[in-house]
Structure 1
């Protein structure tokens, strides 16, 4: 009869003569309650001698591809937990890490993300709405909104207000993306930031951000103008020739714009976080993306589609109702109400999606630095060495540490 709390008797064998007891010096029995290791014949509930304790991989485990001896990058069953002081673990990121982190930093600091976005977007929408209404109110030609022919004065006023509205929207987007970039940079380390502090950090980077944006618009406008001009010139000669030219030129234009959109993805975060100038940030963005172009393109495209679908779903009730009222009424108050509804729908869509889009780009940039420059070691060292109670901005300088 076996003593409770001890392992079952060793079955023994006829040759050794040890019936019911282990041979002298046998060390194969673990303490009572050791978990079962199926497949160790004859000793259910006990591992073979030398088997590693729970939580470690079995003998011969070769690790996750690219991480010898460790588990998957998501810190799976056999992988050690990566340091995670903020919204992302400080290791190479998966697509899920990037998208979840883009939502997590909003939840971690809603006042500085949603609050900031609301302020900037609402002000911009109000200015654009006033610029749109002003010329129509001055001339009284509200029918222009329903497609009626406008007088020269109304057309000129609408064109001028449209340009002014575009500039306003562009400037507000630059300010908003720059400030959100600073917020994400702090959120990586779990540090908070106020709207005023974010403005102080980004204020000196607005001119480079504006310069980069103008260069981006120029880089888009020139090839578009060239393609349109060539196709229009060919159309004067022959419609068939124009059609034949339009297909390859159109495909080439799309490919060029996709390439530029991808390789220049990180220029704004580089301008803000690494304090680079316009052309150095462009060159560095191209170098970072070049080693993993399709992954950067895929994740950015997915984040853009998610943001677009959410913005459309949120704004469509306001926009649809506004358009119905606009085309179904001739009274000035109802037309104004319809314009306000359309503006409200657009504002709500931007407020919800702008922080997510900015967060996805900055975290994708962080991932590329980790993979290309072992930047996770810099982040881990900085996060681990920060003393308790250190000011939130004590980690901002880590973004300046880069491989030259």
Structure 2
């Protein structure tokens, strides 16, 4: 048969699924897409309809994936949250780089002056008396010269001790400002430390006196037993006392390590600062001990590497010295090496202590919330506007 267009029609029924031109396929409903496609206005399969929230597992707007936490506020050298070991060490380096004049410059002035005074006081009497060469050769030196040299060396040691207190306190002030990203000059650091200097010196002298007293008492026991019952008995008693002395000294060193920072930043009295240092350390003693020991090892390795060339050169000159002038040059060379090592490592060590103290307050007292209030002041705030945040309320 023919169709209207003059062609031949399809013989028999159409094949399954066939639809004539212009007609929808079987099962198709007007206004709906083919099977497997979402209707108009609806998201693809697996997504909830409009008004029913985001797809499964997708975080709400403004949040990251599951477990994600936004980065902590970091106005200065550390983020204002509990710190890791790397963040403490990086912060101790960052505050030096952010304010080299008040860290390396200050340390250089104090260390060079102290080392120069100590060298003059220790070597000067022997050089003036012309007995520096006999001392090197192992010959006898008059008692008067020896007493004068010993007294001068003692004065030099005291001067070095006092200068270390001043340097530690001023660097503590610098770190306290660097936490908020604020700078400080050497004069401003001195002004802030000046009122706390005597408390810092008093604590340091008392700490040294207690250590000497406890050492004398402990070692008097095996020495007395050795005289009374023999050397073997003294050694037998002395071994456990030696272990006790090392363990006790280490415990006191760590437990009191935050006291200088508390004296300067919290402005407490000596007794209150000591008690507070013990309270902060005892909650996490082993972590504080581990970080302090690691920092001590780093400081000693770096200091030794820096001082080694100067020390080696000084020793070689001293062995080949044939005059007082060459001996003085060798001693000056060794002193220069020690000064350079101290200039580089002292700010880092002070920074580690203060940042450890800050970390302990954050972990034990939610101190990061207090620090964040200071960070909210913004960069236009006065640098000293955050100093009061370190204070603690005392009854």
Query: What is the aligned partner in structure 1 of residue 37 from structure 2?
Result: 21
The Cα shift of 1:403 comes to: 8.1
Q: CA 1:228–1:197 in 2, change beyond 3 Å: closer, same or farther?
A: same
The Cα shift of 1:129 comes to: 0.8
Q: Is 1:123 aligned to 2:113, yes or no?
A: yes
Alignment counterpart, residue 58 of structure 2, candidates 48, 51, 56:
51
The Cα shift of 1:234 comes to: 2.3
The runs of 5 or more residues in structure 2 that have no matched partner are 1-31, 48-53
Rounded Cα–Cα distance in structure 1 between residues aligned with 2:233 and 2:317: 44
Maintained 8 Å contact 1:85/1:383:
yes
Query: What is the aligned partner in structure 2 of residue 109 from structure 1?
Result: 99
More moved, 373-382 vs 152-161: 152-161
> For 1:307-327, what per-residue CA distance to the aligned partner results, in whole angstroms no more than 9, with x for missing partners?
111011100111121122223
Maintained 8 Å contact 1:106/1:355:
yes
Which structure 2 residues correspond to residues 291-370 of structure 1 after superposition, within 5 A?
A: 291-370=283-362
Alignment counterpart, residue 135 of structure 2, candidates 132, 144, 165:
144
Q: CA 1:111–1:128 in 2, change beyond 3 Å: closer, same or farther?
A: same
Q: Is 1:80 aligned to 2:70, yes or no?
A: yes
Maintained 8 Å contact 2:33/2:39:
no
Which structure 2 residues correspond to residues 142-221 of structure 1 after superposition, within 5 A?
A: 142=132, 143-145=134-136, 147-221=138-212
The Cα shift of 1:145 comes to: 4.1
Alignment counterpart, residue 80 of structure 2, candidates 79, 90, 103:
90
SS of the residue 1:241 aligns to? helix
More moved, 394-403 vs 152-161: 394-403
Structure showing greater radius of gyration is 2
Query: What is the aligned partner in structure 2 of residue 75 from structure 1?
Result: none
The Cα shift of 1:133 comes to: 1.8
The Cα shift of 1:55 comes to: 8.5
TM-score of the pair, normalised by structure 2: 0.85
Maintained 8 Å contact 1:28/1:49:
no
SS of the residue 2:364 aligns to? helix
Maintained 8 Å contact 2:265/2:391:
yes
Rounded Cα–Cα distance in structure 2 between residues aligned with 1:115 and 1:92: 30
Maintained 8 Å contact 1:99/1:360:
yes
Maintained 8 Å contact 2:111/2:339:
yes
Query: What is the aligned partner in structure 1 of residue 390 from structure 2?
Result: 399
Q: CA 1:359–1:388 in 2, change beyond 3 Å: closer, same or farther?
A: closer
> For 1:47-99, what per-residue CA distance to the aligned partner results, in whole angstroms no more than 9, with x for missing partners?
954522798555xx5x4xxxxxxxxxxxxxx2211110000001111111101
Q: Which has the higher contact order (CA 8 A, sep 6+)?
A: 2
The Cα shift of 1:229 comes to: 2.0
Rounded Cα–Cα distance in structure 2 between residues aligned with 1:379 and 1:55: 25
The Cα shift of 1:24 comes to: 6.8
Maintained 8 Å contact 1:87/1:188:
yes
Rounded Cα–Cα distance in structure 1 between residues aligned with 2:287 and 2:393: 22
Maintained 8 Å contact 2:37/2:44:
no
Q: CA 1:333–1:375 in 2, change beyond 3 Å: closer, same or farther?
A: same
Paired residues, number: 356
Q: CA 1:157–1:28 in 2, change beyond 3 Å: closer, same or farther?
A: farther
Maintained 8 Å contact 2:75/2:181:
yes
Alignment counterpart, residue 258 of structure 1, candidates 239, 245, 250:
250
The Cα shift of 1:30 comes to: 10
Rounded Cα–Cα distance in structure 1 between residues aligned with 2:273 and 2:366: 19
Maintained 8 Å contact 1:316/1:345:
yes
> For 1:371-403, what per-residue CA distance to the aligned partner results, in whole angstroms no more than 9, with x for missing partners?
11111000001211x155221111111111458
Q: CA 1:49–1:287 in 2, change beyond 3 Å: closer, same or farther?
A: closer
